[in-house]
């Protein structure tokens, strides 16, 4: 059973035109035929005219911008179109990597809920990566998408042989504590459970201009599962 979400408790910024939330995992940004609960519905229960300005994957947590009115939404849409919105993600990826302000320009094509690299038919897609911290078998990576394609960060990292941990769709491995903790013994009564029950991607920050040209910049604290994952990596994954 899903945990009930109190919309007010996930708000990290609010003014007369915008709300920024720290989106929880396992909930869609927009309407989902498989689930009646979504961020748009929660936002409109809080503010009837709310419009979600962009999407985060269902499993992705972090900064999500919501406009309170049509003019605010158009302001955001124009900034997205002109690449003026700066979104920064943190991803725990499989393997040890040396991304140092590395920019990838690989075209992507999307289908029904999937995306893939396609050098003939794909649309221009750019992402910048920077290593935050290296572990024995994983890397914490900062990701800045310069375009907004479906699953862009996930597919680009998979293309670089650095799939997001837990992202089975694109080659990531499920993260078990036994994979980093030596001599770890889990209960013989049950199979070991994943340390994080989703792919390890978090929308850490967002920055844009409000209706008057003032810069808005917000950071979203790590959710509990992500924080625990990093604490275990710090303790056992060095």
Q: What is the pLDDT of residue 36?
A: 83
Q: 100 catalytic, yes or no?
A: no
What is the H or E stretch that residue 109 is in?
strand 108-110
Percentage helix, strand, coil, to 5, in the chain? Answer: 20, 30, 45
**What is the pLDDT, as a whole number, of residue 3?**
66
Can you give the pLDDT at residue 22?
98
Q: What are phi and psi of 219, to 5 degrees?
A: -120, 145
Residues comprising the chain, all counted: 238
Low-confidence ranges of the chain (pLDDT < 70): 1-3, 185-190
SS3 5: coil
| Residue 14 pLDDT | 98
How far are the Cα atoms of 13, 40, 122, 125, 148 from residue 110, in angstroms, in the given order? 32, 23, 8, 12, 12
Nearest one of 213, 217, 207 to 80, comparing CA atoms: 207
Looking at residue 101, its pLDDT comes to 85
Residue 142 has a pLDDT of 98
Cross-strand pairs, 117: 108
pLDDT in the model for residue 189: 44
DSSP state of 116: E
DSSP 12-49: EEE-SSEEEEEEPSS-BSS-BTTBS-BHHHHHHHHSTT
pLDDT at position 186 is 63
State the catalytic residue, choosing from 17, 57, 94, 167: 57
Q: From CA 183, how far away is CA 202, in angstroms rounded?
A: 30
Write the burial class of residue 119 (CB in 10 Å: 0-12 exposed, 13-18 middle, 19+ buried).
Answer: exposed
Q: Which residues contact 213 (CB under 8 A, 6 or more apart)?
A: none
pLDDT at position 187: 58
Per CATH, which fold does 7-236 belong to?
Pseudouridine synthase (3.30.2350)
């Amino acid at each position: 059973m899903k945990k009930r979400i109190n919309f007010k408790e996930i708000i990290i910024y609010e003014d007369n035109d915008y709300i920024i939330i720290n989106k929880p995992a396992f909930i869609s940004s927009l309407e989902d035929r498989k689930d009646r609960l979504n961020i748009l519905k929660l936002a409109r229960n809080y503010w009837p005219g709310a419009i979600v300005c962009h999407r985060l994957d269902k499993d992705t947590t972090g900064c999500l911008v919501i406009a309170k009115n049509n003019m605010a939404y158009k302001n955001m849409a124009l900034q997205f179109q002109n690449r003026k919105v700066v979104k920064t993600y943190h991803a725990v990826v499989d393997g040890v990597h040396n991304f140092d302000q590395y920019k990838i320009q690989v075209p992507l094509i999307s289908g029904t809920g999937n995306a893939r690299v396609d050098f003939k038919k794909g649309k221009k897609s750019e992402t910048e990566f920077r290593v935050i911290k290296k572990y024995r078998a994983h890397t914490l990576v900062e990701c800045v998408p310069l375009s907004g394609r479906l699953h862009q960060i996930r597919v680009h990292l998979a293309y670089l042989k650095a799939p997001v941990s837990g992202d089975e769709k694109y080659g990531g491995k499920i993260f078990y504590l036994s994979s980093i903790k030596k001599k770890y013994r889990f209960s013989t009564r049950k199979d070991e459970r994943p340390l994080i029950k989703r792919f390890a991607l978090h929308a850490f920050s967002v920055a844009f201009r409000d209706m008057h040209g003032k810069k808005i910049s917000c950071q979203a604290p790590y959710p509990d599962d992500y924080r625990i994952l990093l604490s275990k990596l710090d303790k056992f994954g060095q």
